[in-house]
Structure 1
Amino acid sequence: MSEPAAVTLARHFSKLSIDQIPARHLADAKALIADWFAVALAGSRADSGAIARRFATETGGREEACIVNGGGARVPAVHAAFANAIASHSVELDDVDILALFHFSPPVVAAAVAVAERAGSTGAELLTAVVAGCEAMARLSDATNPSLRDRGYHTTPTVGAFGAAVAAGVLLRLDEATMTSALGLAGAQASGLMEMYGPSMQKRFNPGPAARNGVTAAVMAQLGFTGAATILDGPRGFCRAFSDHYDAEALLRGLGTEFPIHIEYKAYSCARPIHNGIDCALDIRKQIGADRVDGIRSITIRRHSAWAHYHQIPRPATHHEAQVSMNYSVGVALREGAALLPQYTEEKVHDEAILRLSEMVTVVPDDSLPRGVSCLMTVETADGASFSSQVDHPKGSIANPMTPEEAAAKAHLLGDPVIGAAGVTRLLERISQLETLPRAAELMALAQGSGVKAAEKAFASAC
């Protein structure tokens, strides 16, 4: 009888070192960490990010790790991971996997950065932990999706708890047996529902428990609490419980030689499956001309049935709901030629000129489209003219990537209002050198607007 998948994975992750990771995945991890910090900085100013920060600071406890934009306040690593994960999911600009099913960084990077501060980890150790956590998330999603999503579970928190546990376990240097227990304890805490769209902050909350629970699982395992080795592929394990049609072989396929991590980035401040529609809208706006947008009389979007029935919200009640509305996002992109934070405000949500376009959107399922997130948009104007655009790979995807300059511009757009342009530049520089940093805690100190000497002082106090 073969050993449980969790044991095999634990052996792999507990022995993983930076020299075993291909250069392109290390580069991806740096880009992911840079994107996470930028998005978390902006998210720390959002209402949901601010509430999470307040919860963490008011709960208090042992000073182990910083909260993004928390003014240097230090809290237990579990609370920092929780608050920072929520902040990094609060402006809908965080990374996404290639199928638009989950976000890597809110659970994994939030947990890794917090535990790196607690453990006094090096930059190389942080990089290794982030790659490991992302690999764990990718393998679990590959094994259980799309059934997991279709059953109503949110992939980011359900598989994110495992990713966070692995990332934390690598930094805590758990051995095979202890890492196995961490996976078991993560499975005991895996949760998260797709019933999260609407005017509330519900969606922003989901990565928080995943990051916190992953850190809890790793620390508890380190203290000697044992977990079930059969948590993934056992008869009542994660795969069977969360998916009607699972592929257990995906848990281990190519383990040790392949890292099935495919990370994409967001160019727009809304749910990823909407981005194709925004790209179509921006293309059509160029075809029509900005001065003729008011003459639009119909908007039809052909969308693959995998996503056709999601994100149809003609009149969002809040900016939270607008960020998961295809209708609104298309309307604001046509009207303003952009879909970033300034386009998703409470004032904009009630702009009748935008809502006129939003309510025009008709979505038609079309399985002939090549990808689940593909969109084919047709717009007709009052004079009878028709304009069309099809986008299969949105801006920021692997097939249509953002340039390094565009990624840096995004980081400055999000981070400059919080720590200044010079602060963002310094943070990005240090992340680019991450494998050489003796103290990963320096990154969080820089994200507070501190200089390198302050970062070193923060590290010393953490030890």
Structure 2
Amino acid sequence: MSESLATDLARKIGQVRFSDFPIATIHKAKLHILDTLGAALAGSTSPETSAVIHGLGLGRDTGDTPVWGTGLMLNSRTASFVNGVSAHAFELDDSGGCDHSGAVVLPTVLAALTDVGAPVDGARFLESILIGYEVGRRVLEASGGYEAHNGLGWHSTGTCGVFGAAAAAGVLLGLDTPQLTSALGLACSYAGGTWAFIQDGSQAKKLHAGRAAEGGLIAAKLARASLTGPAALFDAQCWGGFFSTFARHTGDAGLLVSDFGQNWRLNRCSIKPYATCRGTHSAIDAIGLVLGREELMPEDVAAIEVRMSAFQIGMCGGKSVSSRADAQMSLPYALAARLQYGQVTLAELVETARMHPQIAHWLSFIRTEADPDMSDDAEPVIAVTTGDGRRFVEMVEQPLGSPANPMADEAVIAKFTGLASGVVGLERSDAIRDFVLNLERQPAVHCLSALLRHPSPAIPMSGAKA
């Protein structure tokens, strides 16, 4: 009997050593870790995290794993869930992996530290993170890619991310090939999450990263305890397997393992400069380019036409700003905020900013159109018409934050400091920064978890409306 794809993948993971990762990849991994922690600390004040903590009755210590940005200590599986929700709550976390790999993998790995039972050095920690990014993305690629898989209605952060979480936790927990195969098989039972939230701006999307983190950790822990999972789950002809169920006729299962270790998938991930869906970022950059190059003021703009792929217009072409989630998934709102406020940060997502009368004015100037000839992954094309009749067309192929147009290290660090210091204070945020940027030299990573706790025992509460 031939080896299953899951076993092949598990064996390849087990052969990876920290020295296999290029220095540039390790450096990028540290920036993604820092960025995710900043997004999560800010997200710990979100209405979504507050609802999770209080709705599930998590207001008292029940374990030894910190809930970031709070004084709470919970069991590892619950902490991974809450921290995953926080990391994705404000839509500031990275993209381009499973999609939101950082918000899945990092909460899993930091929670798993309490289950290891021995010190974990920075090199092993980084290796587990990189493997988590690798597996989550490879599952998505084998499913046909982002547009094909998400186009079926699945949210890949939840459906594919859970396998990255299981692999990352498995590496940290020291699972052997049969155990890691089972962990991947068991993770399939936790794969889920759809795009139904896009219809009404609900907050359900924010749960997907947390559920994937929790499910992956549970799968790895159960596999370590000898519970077996289906080894054939990734095989193309497996009835009830992942690809035959979640990616019918859209994928190539062989991509799960082909050229493993040749091009680490974290290298293709983006760090967000804006607090909105990644699909809006090219348009934000494009309007900025037009205004700057043509020396225009926002009040010079009389109309904006946006030509988008059918996939993109379905994902972020709406104009509803009734909730933060709605606005974050709205390209027209991203343009309106850029025109009105000159930036698109968390401050532009609060209710008072969204409901400013001038925002409705700008939205009335913006028209989106689906172009059937554009590929699903094409960036939008914007056409700006001025009051005196001039017309300028722009398309940004590589928006700021993408691998081909990365944010400067200083900008990523400044983003982290701005997000984290408001929750844990500047002194502690600086300590987190210094620790993460020197991760590969850290003899033990457990103390990072302590730095992520809120300095006071009180749980920060958000008064902001979504």
Q: TM-score, normalised by structure 2?
A: 0.91
Q: Distance in 1 between matches of 2:20 and 2:273?
A: 31
- SS state at 1:448 partner: coil
Q: Distance in 1 between matches of 2:5 and 2:23?
A: 27
Q: Distance in 2 between matches of 1:406 and 1:320?
A: 25
- The answer to whether the 8 A contact 1:328-1:355 is kept is no
Q: Which of the numbers 442, 446, 452 marks the counterpart of 1:437?
A: 442
- SS state at 2:316 partner: coil
Q: Distance in 2 between matches of 1:240 and 1:70?
A: 41
Q: What is residue 139 of structure 1 aligned with on the other side? A: 138
- The answer to whether the 8 A contact 1:315-1:358 is kept is no
- The answer to whether the 8 A contact 1:92-1:269 is kept is yes
Matches within 5 A, 1:38-437: 38-54=38-54, 58=58, 63-71=63-71, 73-97=72-96, 102-119=99-116, 120-144=119-143, 145=145, 146-197=147-198, 198-233=200-235, 234-244=238-248, 245-261=250-266, 262-287=268-293, 292-366=297-371, 372-437=377-442
Give 1:238 deviation, angstroms: 0.5
Deviations 1:261-314 (A, max 9, x none): 321110000010111111112223335657x42343211012234413321222
Q: Distance in 2 between matches of 1:185 and 1:250?
A: 21
Q: Distance in 2 between matches of 1:260 and 1:254?
A: 11
Q: TM-score, normalised by structure 1?
A: 0.91
Q: Distance in 1 between matches of 2:378 and 2:274?
A: 15
Q: What is residue 7 of structure 2 aligned with on the other side? A: 7
Q: What is residue 35 of structure 2 aligned with on the other side? A: 35
Deviations 1:75-114 (A, max 9, x none): 111011100000000111110117xx71111111110111
Q: Distance in 1 between matches of 2:13 and 2:55?
A: 32
Structure 1: state its 5+ residue gaps.
452-463
- The answer to whether the 8 A contact 1:143-1:247 is kept is yes
Q: Distance in 2 between matches of 1:177 and 1:75?
A: 30
- SS state at 1:281 partner: helix
Change (3 A) 1:252 1:111: same
Matched residues, percent identical? 28
Structure 2: state its 5+ residue gaps.
457-466
- The answer to whether the 8 A contact 1:240-1:246 is kept is no
Give 1:42 deviation, angstroms: 0.7
Deviations 1:97-145 (A, max 9, x none): 17xx711111111101111233242222211110111110111011002
- The answer to whether the 8 A contact 1:39-1:94 is kept is yes
Q: Distance in 2 between matches of 1:343 and 1:193?
A: 27
Give 1:215 deviation, angstroms: 0.6
- SS state at 2:197 partner: coil
Q: Distance in 2 between matches of 1:315 and 1:135?
A: 35
Change (3 A) 1:187 1:400: same
- Note the aligned Cα RMSD (angstroms): 2.1
Q: Distance in 2 between matches of 1:62 and 1:418?
A: 22
Residue identity matched to 2:102: S
Deviations 1:181-239 (A, max 9, x none): 10110011111101122332111111111110101101111111111100111232101
Q: Distance in 2 between matches of 1:63 and 1:254?
A: 41
Q: Distance in 2 between matches of 1:346 and 1:188?
A: 38
Q: Distance in 2 between matches of 1:205 and 1:242?
A: 19
- SS state at 1:380 partner: strand
Higher RCO structure (Cα 8 Å, ≥6 apart): 2
Residue identity matched to 2:243: C
- SS state at 2:58 partner: helix
Residue identity matched to 1:36: T
Residue identity matched to 1:444: S
Give 1:162 deviation, angstroms: 0.6
- The answer to whether the 8 A contact 1:133-1:165 is kept is yes
Q: Number of matched residues?
A: 447
Give 1:420 deviation, angstroms: 2.1
Give 1:59 deviation, angstroms: 7.5
Change (3 A) 1:59 1:220: farther
- The answer to whether the 8 A contact 1:28-1:263 is kept is no
Residue identity matched to 1:137: G
Change (3 A) 1:54 1:443: farther
